[in-house]
Amino acid sequence: MPGILNRLDLRPLRPRDKHEPHRAASSLELFFDLVFVVAVSLAAESLHHLETDGHAAAGVGAYLMVFFAIWWAWMNFTWFATAFDNDDWLYRVTTIAQMAGVLVLAAGVPSAMQEGTLSVVTYGYVIMRLAMVSQWLRVAADAPEYRKTALRYAAGITIVQALWVLRLLLPDSLGVASFIVLALAEMAVPIIAERNAVTPWHNHHIAERYGLFTLVVLGEGLLGSANAIIDGLRDAEHVYPLILLAACALVIVAMMWWMYFQVPQHDKFGSLRRSLTFGYTHYVIFAAAAAVSAGIEVGVSQQSGGVELSPVAAAATLTVPVAVFVLATWALAIRPTARPVTNVVLPVAAGLIALSALLEMAWPTAGPAAAAVLTALLLVVVVVTLGAAGTTERQRGPRLSTKAPLN
């Protein structure tokens, strides 16, 4: 086998040292993330269109299902790469094949969310996942100590992908139920596979990767802020309300960034259970952060009278995902080591942010920026509280850097 690998210029796909110093995201991983920028953007844009057309509930449901495919595809590659990335040419080609699957998935997002046509999204997702199967088969061949784990991953992923394709034959009435069953099956694969031998993830590297994807989803909010400015410059009648909305959007996204990176994440790992909790909970954080962009865009459309939602419902498209982000980030990253005042202020602030949509009822003449202003102010209170009260975790060490992991 070594002779064949040498002739093909391949390196064995062996586990990397989980304590490797100065481990940081590779250029291939950053390149890989770019296709998810496209997928997340299309999902947020489709959610915006559904919400402005008065289909908020259906839009949120479709968005959560599509975002699961985006998040799960990204997360599986990320955890595999932290353990086995050998950066040879076959690994790079297989990763690019996974990127092709994500692009196919992204191309099908609008039709999946707005028309219920799932074939393109499903095929793109399956392409991505089957490429991952080939990576696990390489591990099974090259790393005997992880052979059983790798084969369980390969078998589990393959079976679930076949079921996703068969799901296309089911009637629409079973769409949501079948999605829930298969999503749970996807999440069960790592739990079952890792029972034999836990793969060697690198704490600092994986924390950095999650931080980088947080920046990807928060970037959608910045796009919404920019669109508010662009529309304001085009519409002289509403220029000042739209500029105010854009400014609030920038503050909101900036405070969300500040809150997430306030404390380091690398010590949230340890046991398999803790690591899975960290990874799975981030679905809520990522989905909420990306949905903020749609809420900002709804506010822009509402200002011009192009929204078929009530003012309160339109404001809630922004305030609710922000509140969910605050609550999930607090529960996952901040609560365990925060001081009592922080653990009171943050959940209360999250509740007030969600309820700030009701300001549209009390002050209807203020327009869509009213709830955005209150949300921005409450987020400032959250960040100031974190800075003033501090956390025992932050006092022990520096904050997470997205440039290089801490060692």
Domain positions in the chain? 26-193, 203-396
Tens digits of residue pLDDT in 187-198: 999 999 998 788
User: Rounded to whole angstroms, how far apart are CA atoms 57 and 311?
Assistant: 15
**403-407 average pLDDT score:** 35
Tens digits of residue pLDDT in 300-349: 888 777 777 888 888 899 999 999 999 999 998 888 888 889 899 999 99
**199-206 average pLDDT score:** 88
User: Rounded to whole angstroms, how far apart are CA atoms 110 and 126?
Assistant: 18
Q: How confident is the model at residue 403 (pLDDT cuts 50, 70, 90)?
A: very low
Q: Which of 68-77, 200-209, 262-271, 359-368 has the lowest mean pLDDT?
A: 359-368
pTM (two decimals): 0.88
Angle between helices 369-389 and 272-303 (to 10 degrees): 150
Q: How confident is the model at residue 204 (pLDDT cuts 50, 70, 90)?
A: confident
β-strand partners of 391: 338
User: Rounded to whole angstroms, how far apart are CA atoms 392 and 339?
Assistant: 7
**Residue 367: predicted pLDDT:** 62
Whats the size of the chain, residue-wise?
A: 407
Residue environment code for 83-111, b if the CB has 16+ CB neighbours within 10 A, otherwise e: bbbbebebbeebbeebbebbbbbbbbbbe
Tens digits of residue pLDDT in 115-147: 888 899 999 999 999 999 999 999 999 999 999
Helix (H) or strand (E) holding 5: helix 2-8
Q: Among 1.25.40, 1.10.760, 1.20.1410, 3.30.310, what is the CATH number of 203-396?
A: 1.20.1410
Contacts with 326 (C-beta within 8 Å, 6 or more apart), sequence order:
256, 259, 346, 349, 350, 353, 379, 382
In this structure, are residues 204 and 406 in contact, taking their beta carbons and an 8 Å threshold?
Answer: yes
In this structure, are residues 112 and 118 in contact, taking their beta carbons and an 8 Å threshold?
Answer: yes
Tens digits of residue pLDDT in 76-108: 999 999 999 998 999 999 999 999 999 999 999
